Copies of this chain bind each other. A is one copy, B any other.
Amino acid sequence: MTDSIKEPLKDKIIEHIYNAIVNEEFKGGDQIKELHLANSLNVSRAPIREALSELVSLGILEQKTRKGVFVKEITSKDIFDTYESKGILEGFLALEFILRASKEDFKKLYEYVDEMSIETSDRKKIVKIGELFHKTTLKYSKNRTLLDFLEKINKKSQILFYKNWAKLYSKEEVKQRHLKIIKALESQSKTLIESTIREHYFETGTKIVLLREVK
Protein backbone atom coordinates (compact mmCIF):
# COMPACT_ATOMS: atom_id res chain seq x y z
CA MET A 1 0.00 0.00 0.00
CA THR A 2 1.35 3.42 -0.89
CA ASP A 3 1.63 5.71 2.05
CA SER A 4 1.25 9.46 1.98
CA ILE A 5 1.12 11.66 5.01
CA LYS A 6 -1.97 13.19 6.60
CA GLU A 7 -4.58 10.69 5.46
CA PRO A 8 -5.60 8.36 8.28
CA LEU A 9 -4.61 4.74 7.76
CA LYS A 10 -8.22 3.75 8.18
CA ASP A 11 -9.16 5.38 4.90
CA LYS A 12 -6.41 3.70 2.94
CA ILE A 13 -7.41 0.38 4.40
CA ILE A 14 -11.00 0.96 3.41
CA GLU A 15 -9.86 1.68 -0.11
CA HIS A 16 -7.82 -1.51 -0.10
CA ILE A 17 -10.77 -3.62 1.02
CA TYR A 18 -12.99 -1.98 -1.60
CA ASN A 19 -10.60 -3.04 -4.30
CA ALA A 20 -10.19 -6.50 -2.89
CA ILE A 21 -13.94 -6.97 -3.04
CA VAL A 22 -14.27 -5.53 -6.52
CA ASN A 23 -11.44 -7.78 -7.72
CA GLU A 24 -13.09 -10.69 -5.99
CA GLU A 25 -10.12 -11.44 -3.81
CA PHE A 26 -12.71 -11.27 -1.09
CA LYS A 27 -15.93 -13.05 -1.98
CA GLY A 28 -19.34 -13.18 -0.34
CA GLY A 29 -19.20 -15.16 2.88
CA ASP A 30 -15.44 -14.84 3.32
CA GLN A 31 -14.20 -13.92 6.75
CA ILE A 32 -11.83 -10.98 6.85
CA LYS A 33 -9.29 -11.71 9.54
CA GLU A 34 -7.86 -8.67 11.23
CA LEU A 35 -4.42 -9.99 11.91
CA HIS A 36 -3.95 -11.29 8.37
CA LEU A 37 -4.91 -7.98 6.87
CA ALA A 38 -2.77 -6.15 9.41
CA ASN A 39 0.26 -8.23 8.54
CA SER A 40 -0.19 -7.98 4.82
CA LEU A 41 -0.59 -4.20 5.02
CA ASN A 42 2.09 -3.73 7.68
CA VAL A 43 -0.15 -1.93 10.13
CA SER A 44 -1.56 -2.83 13.51
CA ARG A 45 -5.02 -4.19 14.09
CA ALA A 46 -6.37 -0.89 15.41
CA PRO A 47 -6.88 0.92 12.09
CA ILE A 48 -7.97 -2.35 10.50
CA ARG A 49 -10.77 -2.61 13.02
CA GLU A 50 -11.83 0.94 12.34
CA ALA A 51 -11.97 0.33 8.64
CA LEU A 52 -13.93 -2.86 9.10
CA SER A 53 -16.51 -1.33 11.37
CA GLU A 54 -17.03 1.50 8.93
CA LEU A 55 -17.64 -0.97 6.14
CA VAL A 56 -20.01 -2.84 8.39
CA SER A 57 -22.04 0.30 8.88
CA LEU A 58 -22.06 0.79 5.13
CA GLY A 59 -23.63 -2.62 4.81
CA ILE A 60 -20.83 -4.13 2.75
CA LEU A 61 -19.49 -6.29 5.54
CA GLU A 62 -21.28 -8.06 8.32
CA GLN A 63 -20.18 -8.44 11.93
CA LYS A 64 -20.87 -11.48 14.04
CA THR A 65 -19.94 -10.82 17.64
CA ARG A 66 -16.81 -12.67 18.68
CA LYS A 67 -16.89 -14.56 15.40
CA GLY A 68 -15.53 -11.98 13.04
CA VAL A 69 -16.33 -9.78 10.10
CA PHE A 70 -17.55 -11.33 6.87
CA VAL A 71 -18.18 -10.15 3.35
CA LYS A 72 -21.91 -9.96 2.92
CA GLU A 73 -23.52 -12.43 0.60
CA ILE A 74 -25.42 -10.51 -2.01
CA THR A 75 -28.74 -12.05 -2.91
CA SER A 76 -30.89 -11.11 -5.87
CA LYS A 77 -33.32 -9.63 -3.41
CA ASP A 78 -30.59 -7.33 -2.11
CA ILE A 79 -29.88 -6.06 -5.58
CA PHE A 80 -33.51 -5.51 -6.34
CA ASP A 81 -34.07 -3.73 -3.04
CA THR A 82 -31.11 -1.49 -3.61
CA TYR A 83 -32.37 -0.25 -6.95
CA GLU A 84 -35.88 0.07 -5.66
CA SER A 85 -34.51 2.22 -2.85
CA LYS A 86 -32.59 4.39 -5.25
CA GLY A 87 -35.78 4.95 -7.17
CA ILE A 88 -37.74 5.92 -4.08
CA LEU A 89 -35.12 8.34 -2.84
CA GLU A 90 -34.15 9.96 -6.10
CA GLY A 91 -37.74 10.10 -7.21
CA PHE A 92 -38.66 12.17 -4.22
CA LEU A 93 -35.49 14.23 -4.05
CA ALA A 94 -35.76 15.22 -7.70
CA LEU A 95 -39.03 17.01 -6.97
CA GLU A 96 -37.05 20.00 -5.76
CA PHE A 97 -35.60 20.25 -9.23
CA ILE A 98 -38.80 21.42 -10.86
CA LEU A 99 -39.21 24.16 -8.29
CA ARG A 100 -35.82 25.67 -8.90
CA ALA A 101 -34.37 24.43 -12.17
CA SER A 102 -33.23 26.99 -14.72
CA LYS A 103 -33.22 26.68 -18.48
CA GLU A 104 -29.51 25.98 -18.22
CA ASP A 105 -30.14 23.03 -15.94
CA PHE A 106 -32.40 21.44 -18.51
CA LYS A 107 -29.94 22.24 -21.26
CA LYS A 108 -27.27 20.42 -19.33
CA LEU A 109 -29.47 17.38 -18.92
CA TYR A 110 -30.01 17.26 -22.67
CA GLU A 111 -26.29 17.57 -23.23
CA TYR A 112 -25.60 14.63 -20.99
CA VAL A 113 -28.13 12.56 -22.86
CA ASP A 114 -26.45 13.42 -26.13
CA GLU A 115 -23.04 12.46 -24.81
CA MET A 116 -24.41 9.12 -23.72
CA SER A 117 -25.15 8.07 -27.23
CA ILE A 118 -22.23 9.39 -29.27
CA GLU A 119 -20.15 6.77 -30.98
CA THR A 120 -16.88 7.28 -29.16
CA SER A 121 -18.25 6.97 -25.64
CA ASP A 122 -17.16 3.83 -23.89
CA ARG A 123 -19.08 2.08 -21.16
CA LYS A 124 -17.11 3.64 -18.39
CA LYS A 125 -17.71 7.13 -19.72
CA ILE A 126 -21.40 6.49 -20.10
CA VAL A 127 -21.62 5.40 -16.50
CA LYS A 128 -19.82 8.56 -15.51
CA ILE A 129 -22.20 10.73 -17.49
CA GLY A 130 -25.12 8.88 -15.98
CA GLU A 131 -23.85 9.85 -12.57
CA LEU A 132 -23.62 13.48 -13.61
CA PHE A 133 -27.12 13.34 -15.02
CA HIS A 134 -28.61 12.06 -11.82
CA LYS A 135 -26.54 14.41 -9.71
CA THR A 136 -27.93 17.31 -11.69
CA THR A 137 -31.50 16.28 -11.01
CA LEU A 138 -30.64 16.34 -7.32
CA LYS A 139 -28.78 19.62 -7.26
CA TYR A 140 -31.58 21.51 -5.52
CA SER A 141 -32.41 18.81 -3.01
CA LYS A 142 -31.69 19.76 0.54
CA ASN A 143 -32.80 16.89 2.73
CA ARG A 144 -29.45 15.84 4.20
CA THR A 145 -30.87 12.72 5.79
CA LEU A 146 -32.04 11.31 2.48
CA LEU A 147 -29.10 12.60 0.47
CA ASP A 148 -26.59 10.99 2.81
CA PHE A 149 -28.44 7.74 2.67
CA LEU A 150 -28.59 7.84 -1.11
CA GLU A 151 -24.86 8.42 -1.16
CA LYS A 152 -24.30 5.36 0.97
CA ILE A 153 -26.43 3.25 -1.33
CA ASN A 154 -24.59 4.52 -4.36
CA LYS A 155 -21.23 3.76 -2.85
CA LYS A 156 -22.36 0.29 -1.95
CA SER A 157 -23.86 -0.52 -5.31
CA GLN A 158 -20.84 0.87 -7.10
CA ILE A 159 -18.68 -1.62 -5.26
CA LEU A 160 -20.94 -4.59 -5.32
CA PHE A 161 -22.67 -4.43 -8.66
CA TYR A 162 -20.04 -2.78 -10.76
CA LYS A 163 -19.49 -5.82 -12.93
CA ASN A 164 -23.15 -5.92 -13.88
CA TRP A 165 -23.19 -2.47 -15.39
CA ALA A 166 -21.34 -3.66 -18.44
CA LYS A 167 -23.93 -4.54 -21.03
CA LEU A 168 -27.31 -3.88 -19.53
CA TYR A 169 -28.45 -1.39 -22.12
CA SER A 170 -27.48 -0.31 -25.60
CA LYS A 171 -26.44 3.29 -26.11
CA GLU A 172 -29.77 4.07 -27.67
CA GLU A 173 -31.59 2.53 -24.75
CA VAL A 174 -29.56 4.52 -22.26
CA LYS A 175 -30.46 7.66 -24.15
CA GLN A 176 -34.14 6.90 -24.30
CA ARG A 177 -34.30 5.97 -20.67
CA HIS A 178 -32.84 9.27 -19.59
CA LEU A 179 -34.84 11.30 -22.08
CA LYS A 180 -37.91 9.87 -20.43
CA ILE A 181 -36.80 11.35 -17.13
CA ILE A 182 -36.24 14.75 -18.70
CA LYS A 183 -39.71 14.65 -20.19
CA ALA A 184 -41.15 13.82 -16.81
CA LEU A 185 -39.29 16.71 -15.22
CA GLU A 186 -40.51 19.06 -17.94
CA SER A 187 -44.06 17.98 -17.30
CA GLN A 188 -43.79 19.44 -13.80
CA SER A 189 -46.04 16.68 -12.58
CA LYS A 190 -44.81 15.40 -9.25
CA THR A 191 -46.50 12.06 -9.54
CA LEU A 192 -45.15 11.53 -13.03
CA ILE A 193 -41.63 12.42 -11.95
CA GLU A 194 -41.65 10.09 -9.01
CA SER A 195 -43.13 7.20 -10.91
CA THR A 196 -40.80 7.68 -13.86
CA ILE A 197 -37.67 7.69 -11.75
CA ARG A 198 -38.88 4.76 -9.71
CA GLU A 199 -39.55 2.85 -12.89
CA HIS A 200 -36.13 3.82 -14.21
CA TYR A 201 -34.36 2.04 -11.36
CA PHE A 202 -36.89 -0.71 -10.97
CA GLU A 203 -36.14 -1.73 -14.53
CA THR A 204 -32.41 -1.82 -13.92
CA GLY A 205 -32.77 -3.81 -10.73
CA THR A 206 -35.00 -6.31 -12.45
CA LYS A 207 -32.60 -6.63 -15.35
CA ILE A 208 -29.57 -7.26 -13.21
CA VAL A 209 -31.41 -9.87 -11.22
CA LEU A 210 -32.50 -11.62 -14.40
CA LEU A 211 -28.97 -11.57 -15.75
CA ARG A 212 -27.78 -13.20 -12.56
CA GLU A 213 -30.39 -15.92 -12.50
CA VAL A 214 -29.48 -16.97 -16.03
CA LYS A 215 -25.80 -17.16 -15.25
**Chain A contact residues, CB within 8 Å of chain B:** 8, 46, 49-50, 53-54, 57, 59, 65-66, 77-78, 81-82, 84-85, 88-89, 92, 142-146, 148-149, 153, 191
Number of copies: 2
Whole-angstrom CA separation of A84 from B96 in the bound complex: 13
Could you give 26 example pairs across A and B, Cβ below 8 Å?
A: A8-B66, A46-B46, A53-B53, A57-B57, A59-B145, A59-B148, A77-B142, A78-B144, A78-B145, A81-B142, A81-B143, A81-B144, A81-B145, A82-B145, A84-B143, A84-B145, A84-B146, A85-B143, A85-B145, A88-B88, A88-B89, A88-B92, A88-B146, A145-B153, A149-B149, A191-B191
On whether A81 and B146 interact (CB within 8 A), knowing A54-B57, A57-B54, the answer reads: yes
Whole-angstrom CA separation of A143 from B142 in the bound complex: 24
Whole-angstrom CA separation of A80 from B35 in the bound complex: 44
Whole-angstrom CA separation of A84 from B8 in the bound complex: 35
* B residues less than 8 Å from A88 (CB atoms): 88-89, 92, 146
Secondary structure type dominating chain A contacts: helix
A62 to chain B, nearest CB (A): 12
Whole-angstrom CA separation of A84 from B92 in the bound complex: 11
* B residues less than 8 Å from A143 (CB atoms): 81, 84-85
Whole-angstrom CA separation of A156 from B123 in the bound complex: 40
* B residues less than 8 Å from A85 (CB atoms): 143, 145-146, 149
